[in-house]
Structure 1
Amino acid sequence: MSRTMRLSLRAGERVWINGAVVRAERKTTLEILNDATFLLESHVLQPDETTTPLRQLYFAVQTTFIDPKAAGEAQALFERWLAAALRTFASPEILQGLLAVRDQMAAGRRLDAMKTLRALFPAEDAILALPAARRSAA
């Protein structure tokens, strides 16, 4: 069952809807009347911001929204990076989050996977800020 989704955009703000980039010329509200995948500009991670493993995973998921033609390649990258992250991290919080992201992606819930990953960024940042000797204990 589809539901109406209202998006309020500021002048110059972009939104990706089913792979198409839409930019608001002026402040506007859009109503999406059927099922569509969309990504607000405020949720888009730029390539130069993919400096950590979880941000790289986020970028791969994001790419499936922004560039549907590259979705298969982005999904393959996601799966490789997810496997590497599951082997690398020891933090129970991050590992539990990564398993949730795996399940969300398997269920086609990409936006939920992105939300889960974004919520893990502070924990990852804290681990990466630790001195190298203490990092392995995290």
Structure 2
Amino acid sequence: MKISLRAGERIYVNGAVLRVDRKVSLELVNDVMFLLEGQVMQASDATTALRQLYFIVQLMLMNPTDIGNASALYGQHHAALLAVCESREMVDGLAAVDELVGATRYFEALKRIRALFPVEQAILARATTESPIKAA
């Protein structure tokens, strides 16, 4: 797999953070787990349950040598999400994510979670309009 990076851009490869000082192309010739800087979610951006799940899986991908705590947190968070989900699309998506995480295919799990962001937004928007705050 060939990846092109701009000057100053970072890539996270198997737990290592690489920053390039000029435009460069990298060729990954074996199976590695990586994230481009634009795919990395900051903790402050994990503002919804699904975004928090993304952040947890991201931790699993970025730090593969210390996966125990993140894996336990993932299990708890995933189960809590499933317990409150009523949307078939969300339940099916979370099942697919769980299969991918179980197979240590974290990058694909992150892609699947990102695809569910619009579904979550629609659910949250619907919940806001269905239960408006009553004025005192």
TM over 0.5: yes
Q: Is 1:50 aligned to residue 56 of structure 2?
A: no
Counterpart Cα distance in 2 of 1:28 and 1:133: 48
State whether structure 2 residue 71 is matched by structure 1 residue 75: yes
The structural deviation recorded for 1:130 is 2.1
Give the counterpart letter for 1:47 in structure 2.
A
Instruction: Go from structure 1 to structure 2 and tell me whether the alpha carbon gap of 1:122 and 1:59 turns closer, same or farther (over 3 Å shift).
Output: same
Moved more, 17-26 or 124-133: 124-133
Q: RMSD between aligned alpha carbons?
A: 1.4
Q: Do structure 1's residue 113 and structure 2's residue 113 form an aligned pair?
A: no
Match of 1:34 in 2: 30
Indicate yes or no: 2:85 matched with 1:89.
yes
Deviation at 1:106, TM superposition (A): 1.0
SS at match of 1:59: helix
| Counterpart residue number, 1:6 | 2
Give 5+ residue unaligned stretches, structure 1.
Answer: none
Q: Percent identity?
A: 48
The alignment covers a number of residue pairs equal to: 131
* Per-residue deviation, 1:120: 0.2
How far the C-alpha of 1:133 sits from its partner, in A, is: 7.0
Q: TM-score normalized by structure 1?
A: 0.89
Q: Which of 61, 70, 81 is equivalent to 1:65?
A: 61
* Residues 116, 122 of structure 1: alpha-carbon distance in 2 compared, 3 angstrom cutoff: same
* 5+ long unaligned stretches in structure 2: 132-136
Tell me how far 1:132 sits from its aligned partner: 4.3
Point out 4+ residue stretches in structure 1 off by more than 3 angstroms. Answer: 131-135
